[in-house]
Amino acid sequence: MTEEIKRFLNKLFLEEAAREEQITLDWNLPNKRKYSMARSLRGINETKSWYYLFVENDLEKAKQCFFLYGKVQEYLCKSTTVNMILGMTQDNTYALLSDAKDLIYGMVNWKYAGYEKDIKKGSLKYIIPLVAIGEDEKALALLDLFHIKHRKMGLKEENEAIIRAIISGETEEVNRLLQIFLLPRNHKKTNGIYELRSELFSLPALGFAKLAWLRGVEVDIDHPLIPKALLPIQPNSIYDNTYDFLID
């Protein structure tokens, strides 16, 4: 990472930390306003995770932020209509990177706008949590639907192939497919609209690499956009919900 990006992350972290103090004020608000605040908190924890990971090199604090991102997303899924982009997006990836078992197992219950319709089309956003918790039969059934229904999706064949390879434990094949996702042209396609994030890591490659490790497929990939420290399964001894609204 360049010193320029580090300086920017420092500045961004300080600004977002100040915003966080204001945003976590008063949850005795109309629901619509609550949900807007929750979305802001989600983004704040995303930014903080980058700061802790790339500037302070504090993996435990980064995982705590990934956990809070996932818990806020879980709250939104339970409380309102949430949209989610198809595939291994930051929502799935950050939850997996947290290494928080309860959060990861809870992902299969996350509901989104168009949930029933997407299930019938074998959407990847429902397949990935099933793979993470070892529900392979359900995952493969949905993957068969995905194969039929998603004819025009970019990198469709690679998405399908890497999930099948993870399920079957094919380490070399997973590594081969990760390298395809990391090709500059493919990285640009899947990360191009996220100017800063695209300089830090590459989705969906990072998410699939982590999913593989969660399944015991310990891929060893050397690439600047795959922070290797995030791949081993090393949960924090404690995760703090922090926000009162996350406590049932």
Supply the pLDDT for residue 14: 67
Supply the pLDDT for residue 213: 98
Supply the pLDDT for residue 77: 86
The two structure tokens encoding residue 105: 């197992």
Q: Please tell me the distance from the alpha carbon of residue 35 to that of residue 81, in angstroms, as a whole number.
A: 10
**What mean pLDDT comes out for the span 35-57?**
87
Of 72, 215, 66, 208, residue with least CA distance to 134: 215
> pLDDT per residue over 194-229, tens digit each?
888 899 999 999 999 999 999 999 999 999 999 999
Supply the pLDDT for residue 111: 82
Amino acid identity, position 194: Y
pTM above the 0.85 mark?
yes
Of 116, 114, 190, 207, residue with least CA distance to 155: 190
166 neighbors 185 (Cβ within 8 angstroms)? no
Q: Please tell me the distance from the alpha carbon of residue 19 to that of residue 11, in angstroms, as a whole number.
A: 13
Q: What is the DSSP code string of 27-91?
A: --S-HHHHHHHHHHHHHHHHHHHHIIIIIS--HHHHHHHHHHHHHHHHHHHHHS-----SSS-HH
**Range in 64-73, 186-195, 214-223, 229-238 the model is least confident about:** 186-195
